[in-house]
A and B are shown apart, each in its own frame.
Chain A
Amino acid sequence: MLPADISSRDPGEKPSYGAAFSGALIDPERAIPNCVAGPNGKTATKRYNVYRNNVTVSLMEALASIYPAVQRITGAEFFRAMARFHVRANPPRSPLLFEYGRDFPAFIERYEYAQSVPWLGDVARIERAWLDCYHAADAEPLSATALGSVPADRLAKLVFLPHPAVRIVRSSFSAVSIFAANRNEEQTDQIQADDPEDALITRPTHDVVVRHLPAGGATFLTRLIEGSPLAVAVSAALEVAPIFDLSASMAGMIDAGVFTTINDGDPQ
């Protein structure tokens, strides 16, 4: 048995100061808690509001640091308003702020004032995937030599183990071009926003790299990441994109570090 829950040790105690103090922190409509005061019992409205402000603004800033391209597209003022709504409705459930905002892309897509920018949610998905890739575990990517040493008659059954940092984001919009231009602070007025683009996000050496996948590439890599043998992934890619280029995709995936090891499918 574990030791008794500390909170159950003293059943006669008043409700915890955690509930009393935190109740109004992210709810501006609620009255400030009466458990706190200024010195000599004076009013503490502005004092409590310091905590309110610290909580909401720091979490809005956390979203801005995770989603810089989204903020550049919307402008800072629009972003702050959108982020404030999100923080109040969906505060973090983990003390690790780099895990925060997973539901922000879906929130953006439902956000009334962002309806005129339908690609914004997908740009946010790429940014979220970028941060996951950044913090993912380290691993040595599969080398071209290791792949080249597989006998030709074993290629069809080959199975690949994905690198922990690999992510794929598919979009019906030109999300990769829009993401890249805004992350690099470039002009975006020449981008045609509704060409579908799929993103491959990897960390081949030290830094995160975002690539625009060619036709059939996302289907091909998704199948391989799920554990399908090479021949199955190739058929799936050709089915969605008859122009799918296998040798270019294989070279690209080695260069990007999508996988770490191969298994020739022989159960031994």
Chain B
Amino acid sequence: MNAMFKLADSKAPRLLRFPAHSIAGLAGTSFKHEHLSAILAERPAYGFFEVHAENYMGAGGPPHRALESVRRDYPISLHGVCMSIGGPQRIDVAHLGRFAALVERYEPALVSEHLAWSTHETTYFNDLLPLPYTEATLARVADHIGEVQEAIRRPILLENPSTYALFRDSTMSETDFIRELARRSGCGLLLDVNNVFVSATNHGFSALDYLSDFPLERVGEIHLAGHAEQSDDEGERLLIDSHDGPVADAVWTLFDIVAGRRGPIPTLVEWDSKIPDWSVLKAEAMAAQAILDRHAQRFVFGSTHAAR
């Protein structure tokens, strides 16, 4: 169990089974099987696709055939949904083994998981559940991230959650918790801008303050998605991270600000329910790409200028 030696192994020469497509500066979408034939007909191939790791943990069959065909032409992002990194119990080693096997098999450009949990004892709840932000949970979650990174022999990107309730015994802010987690574990971050907007609305804080406090220099991917609206016990607006519609205007505005500060990094439009035609989802990604491209020009100019 020596992390340094294991990490060194990954530098050994190895045969790539898939082309090493660059993901830098690209916008992408969730990969849905109903879009497969439309995607394979796209020429030239442009952008990237993100898949939920658990959907490809079967032994074989059509899911792997579909993912292989997409992976040949595009970079992919492997997004784990149920590792329970944020949970109090130990990481499920069987699940971690399956996850590591997918990283090995598909050589994804990005690998990510959530600051959340979904299994308690042996029951799987199929939702991203929240955790208290304390010194004790910080230490535990940092250990969990270390265990995952050791198994896959590369850093992960950890996603900020959307939450609906707060733990009474939290002692630090979410941004402080995430910054310290990244520092201790060496992980990168996946900034879900819709989650920031949803949580800010639900808990009455400023999304801009959150973003100013967030360690943007560690962000390796951005998520955008649609949300739904309900109300809480006092009749105040309660947003639900539903991934079932277009990205909201307020979220586009926040994304523009983040892209302006951080530069053009891979950005994903998530859409997991009430899935539209490919053309609709693609148009969302193109809108994100236009924002990334606008800031890319400024960043190229800016870095050239800075180098002089």
Chain A residues with a Cβ under 8 A of chain B: 3, 5-7, 10, 13, 16-19, 21-22, 25-26, 34-48, 50-51, 54-55, 58-59, 62, 91-98, 133-139, 164-165, 203, 206-207
B121 to chain A, nearest CB (A): 8
Tell me if B183 counts as interface (CB < 8 A to partner A): no
Of the four ranges (under 10, 10 to 19, 20 to 34, 35 or more), the interface on chain B belongs to 35 or more
User: Are A19 and B120 neighbours in the complex by a CB distance under 8 Å?
Assistant: yes
Tell me if B129 counts as interface (CB < 8 A to partner A): yes
B76 to chain A, nearest CB (A): 19
Known pairs A18-B117, A35-B168; A59 contacts B63 (CB<8 A): no
User: Are B126 and A35 neighbours in the complex by a CB distance under 8 Å?
Assistant: no
Of the candidates A3, A18, A36, which one forms a contact with B168 in the assembled complex, judged by CB atoms under 8 Å apart? Answer: A36
User: Are B61 and A7 neighbours in the complex by a CB distance under 8 Å?
Assistant: no
A87 (CB) vs chain B CBs: closest residue: B126
B235 (CB) vs chain A CBs: closest residue: A46
B82 (CB) vs chain A CBs: closest residue: A95
**Cα-based distance from A16 to B140 in the complex (angstroms):** 12
Known pairs A7-B88, A41-B168, A42-B234; A134 contacts B62 (CB<8 A): yes
Binds A, one of B159-167, B260-268, B292-300: B159-167
**Cα-based distance from A92 to B92 in the complex (angstroms):** 15
**Cα-based distance from A3 to B1 in the complex (angstroms):** 10
User: Are A51 and B129 neighbours in the complex by a CB distance under 8 Å?
Assistant: yes
User: Are A51 and B168 neighbours in the complex by a CB distance under 8 Å?
Assistant: no
User: Are B233 and A22 neighbours in the complex by a CB distance under 8 Å?
Assistant: no
User: Are B60 and A137 neighbours in the complex by a CB distance under 8 Å?
Assistant: yes
A163 to chain B, nearest CB (A): 11
Known pairs A6-B143, A38-B232, A137-B60; A50 contacts B164 (CB<8 A): yes
**Cα-based distance from A50 to B163 in the complex (angstroms):** 10
A167 to chain B, nearest CB (A): 13
Known pairs A21-B130, A42-B233, A55-B125; A136 contacts B119 (CB<8 A): no
B236 to chain A, nearest CB (A): 9
- Name 13 extra pairs, CB < 8 A, besides A35-B168, A47-B232, A48-B164: A10-B136, A13-B136, A17-B167, A18-B87, A35-B132, A36-B167, A38-B166, A54-B127, A62-B126, A92-B126, A94-B124, A134-B62, A137-B59
